[in-house]
Amino acid sequence: METDPDTDFAEGSVVVGVDGSPSSVDALRWAAQLARRRSAPLHIVHVLPSPGVYLSEAAVLIQAQFTEKLESDSERMLRRARELVSAEFADVESTSAQYPGPPAAALLDLSARAGLLVLGATGAGTVGAMLVGSTGQRVANHARCPVLVCRGGVPPAADDRPIVVGVDGSELSLHAVGVAYEYAAVLGARLVAVHAWGPAQTVQRYGAFRLVDWSAVEAEERALVAESIAGHSAAWPDVHVEMVLEQNSAGRTLLEYAGQARFVVVGSRGRSRITGALLGSTSQNLLHHAPCPVMICRGRGAGPDSGLDGDVWTDDSV
């Protein structure tokens, strides 16, 4: 089913941003597949650049012609996206809409009602295919719903790889674990709960390195992981979960397991980060280098720590 609403879409939809880049086409396929498995509507969006401020009549006329061309290209892009969904995911209910920019602000608005926001790792015109575009980073930093940044190409038709979730005991990590369980249940996937701990973390908590009782530390770290997954295991008893503990950096360990993952789920920052709105270094590392999609979870709703400040909403460098 295809519709063309103005800007409205169903609460809890899987929302995907398209911009004509190969990465956004991959994201569209990921979004449609997840919408199908979640029995959720799919909302396809394209965000126009922000209008500029022009002082001369000639500049205003040129801008009007340019805007008309952008809107026409956007409509064509959305039509092609709907055609792809109709051809490959005929059972997915889809809507589409064009939104005014700036892109990050528009997508953040949409995240307040979306169940999942899906983006390509690199946008049209982005320099450096290995790096996530600035729009993706801003949205992952501040979205009110989980954000899946699609790396590693299109989803395979048959996929027996596990979902990997990073566990560190923080509140956002616990939220990420819950989201990972939900998707594991929906997709019929195994779940690998990965917790990495190292001397630097341990010394902060225990003092002098050589006085640390490493067996006691490992027991505590294992208990942390068990506690983090216990409630979710009870809620999703059919999900098979494997606990992995490694004495290593979180970024390095998760990248290792990402190589064999369907996708990786992490909170936006870990327990060792100073309280703030920005992604932690582990999340940033995965967004830039993971060989598979990365799902960033912040939690629903905006609060004092939401990071939704003026700079996020007005900056146009996306």
- Pairwise CA distance, residues 155 & 189, whole Å: 14
Q: Which domains does the chain have, with CATH numbers?
A: 2-145 (3.40.50.620), 163-297 (3.40.50.12370)
Backbone angles phi, psi at 24, to 5 degrees: -75, -25
Beta-ladder partners of 267: 297
Tokens of 253: 């360990």
Residue 71's identity, in one-letter code, is E
Provide the pLDDT for residue 304: 31
Provide the pLDDT for residue 249: 84
Provide the pLDDT for residue 310: 30
For residue 313, what pLDDT band results from cuts at 50, 70 and 90?
very low
Helices first, then strands: H and E counts in the chain: 10, 11
* pLDDT tens-place string over residues 68-85: 777 888 899 999 999 999
| pTM, 2 dp | 0.81
